[in-house]
Amino acid sequence: VKKIDKRKDPALRQQAEEVQSNLAAFIEYRKSFI
């Protein structure tokens, strides 16, 4: 995510951060089933 320049493309940067946090939350969610 840090490779995306937030000054050049703030929307893309925000979207990438959301995807990253969603992925982390999903992994935590899946761990609860194992």
pLDDT 10s digits, 1-34: 667 677 888 899 899 999 999 999 999 999 998 7
Asked whether the whole model's pTM tops 0.75, one would answer no
Per the structure, how many domains does the chain have?
Answer: 1
Residue 1, pLDDT score: 64
CA distance 3 to 14: 12
Domain coverage including residue 17: 1-33
Burial 17-33 (b: 16+ CB within 10 A, else e): eeeeeeeeeeeeeeeee
DSSP class of residue 34? Answer: -
